[in-house]
Structure 1
Amino acid sequence: MESAVSVSEFSIQVNNSIQPLLKLAGQISGLETTFITYIDPVKQIQRVIWVDGDGDIQIQAGSEVNWSDSMCRLLFNSDAIVSENVPAEFPKSAGAELGMQTFIALPVRSTQKIVGSLCAASSKQHHLPENAKYQLKLLAEAVSLHIEQWQTITELAERYEKAQKSLRKVKRETQMLSQKANTDLLTGLLNRRGFSERWAELKEAESGLVTVLAIDLDNFKPLNDEHGHAVGDQVLATFGKALRASSRSCDICARMGGDEFFWIFMNGSVKIAEEAAERLRKQFTKLTNTAIQSCAFSIGIHVEDITKGDDLLMAADKAMYQAKSQGQSLTQLTA
């Protein structure tokens, strides 16, 4: 972020310092619109960097033209710096199409190489005196430093943007890998690793009551043995879908292994937890087919302050086993 700010500030400084030169070029030339361009010899593109004036000739900063179509190229190749009758001298040029009558272009050099141009244009005919040509040549020499600074700014900005794109790509890939590493592929819920991370974050960030539901599928092993692992996997996948549909995105829903699950959310009460359990039961029943309708589940509920930490998980797990041993679908322990 510091790099972006420094580049931005540098750009503003360069823009502010170039404006007086453009205004001076307008006064010397007597033309309404003055602008400075950058010439890219590799891409064969000419780009307008800075513009000053509100004349009839509409030149926009940031606009580009192929070097082969450039008015500057036409003047440079004719060894002139000014055309006082553009329609007559260059009838099919872009300048003529823009309505230019007078056009001035001086090459801007850096280490003897042309890097840009100092230009002025008008929809009216003007005569440029010799002393004005000399003064504009001096201005063109002063402009070279600004174009070099602009190139530096542009390169820094491009490098920064490229680095940011790479960083965003790495972050996306890291998030995807982390999500895969923390997700149970069969159910779409958190796996044990993902649960451990979310549970640790919850304990550190939150305060107040937390509701823990420990869930275990009933008769899962006999069903798995009788119908095969494919049906067992279907039961687990269906239960995962039901749990996702019954919970909120802020809840922690995880498959801890086998047919054991946790569903955790902040605040709540035993009544709210029982309503959530009933909602899960209905959703699971709705999604199950005939082959697996016999598979129910037991739930243990524990609601207590989150400062109790991992003891909450143990209490809910104990309640769940009591429910299973008593043949109940739901039991509860409260502090």
Structure 2
Amino acid sequence: MQASTSPTVPIDDTEKSPNPIPEVPPTYTSHYQPGPPVTVGYPIASYPGPGPTGFPGLNQPGGFSMYGSGGPPVVYQPGINVNPIQPPQITWMPAPPPVPNCPPGLEFLSQLDKILVHQQIELLELMTRFESNNRYEVKNSMGQMVYMVLEDTDDITRNTYHSLRPFVIRVIDCMGREIMRLQRPLRYTCCCSCCSDTMQELEVQSPPGVPLGYVMQQYVFCQTNFSIENEKNEHVLSIEGPCAAACCSDTIFQIKSMDGINIGSICRQWIGAAQMSLGDIDNYEITFPLDLNVTMKAMVFAATFLIDFMFFENSPRDDRQQRN
């Protein structure tokens, strides 16, 4: 008998498990290999280019444009680039050896006890009242680039909700791959900030689609604190904020273990009165123990962006009023 030649029905293997949180942490295969530091630059605006080593060109699938489409190029902070056609050269941190059971891309954090986060200046916000996506550079204490952080929010949401806006933030490594994703739902606030439905939260995924943990706002009288939870919603660390944002000085959020011991801080650095005229730019210094679990380091790092949006994200109109 002749075998049937009719095409078979393809098997749909994309169905997700009804339980998205695994019972045990998955085993990750690192894609990093140790290598020497490489000096690279940003792709030139409106032109396809190789960019950083292994970084997709602007016209290649998966490539992330470092410039807003249709808008003026980004000026990088710190060290303002006066010639946007020739962006400053940057040096990437060399990839460390693979770490067992570590999400791909987070190996860098195993060698760091300090992270510097610099928000980039958006020329479009300086010239108009239009709120654009936030972008950040993440560096180590030696000034080497570790990650790029890009907000991915539509224009209407950004300019309607401003600092309350829900967002998706993508953390990109030196190879142009998204190694972390931060998702904030829309939560309104009330005058007393004590309603559970108005408490802000952030879901952290690494790799994207796999929950790594959660950052949850907790209200304490005259103070805003946060709890850092693992993928099973178990409280593992706390972040205690000041009673009020400091004026003309650094604002420090203390990181504490479950037994109340101070193990680090998230410091929003005062940029000075001169640079306030440049608009909404913020610099953060994050410190934690070198031997802290990589997952917890990633969660503290992610909490910085929720803090930035909640307390220090001013709309272009607010910036103009402050300058006036």
Pairwise TM-score range, normalised by the shorter structure: under 0.3
Length-normalised TM-score, structure 2: 0.22
- Higher strand proportion, which one? 2
Which structure has the larger Rg over C-alpha atoms?
Answer: 1
- Higher helix proportion, which one? 1
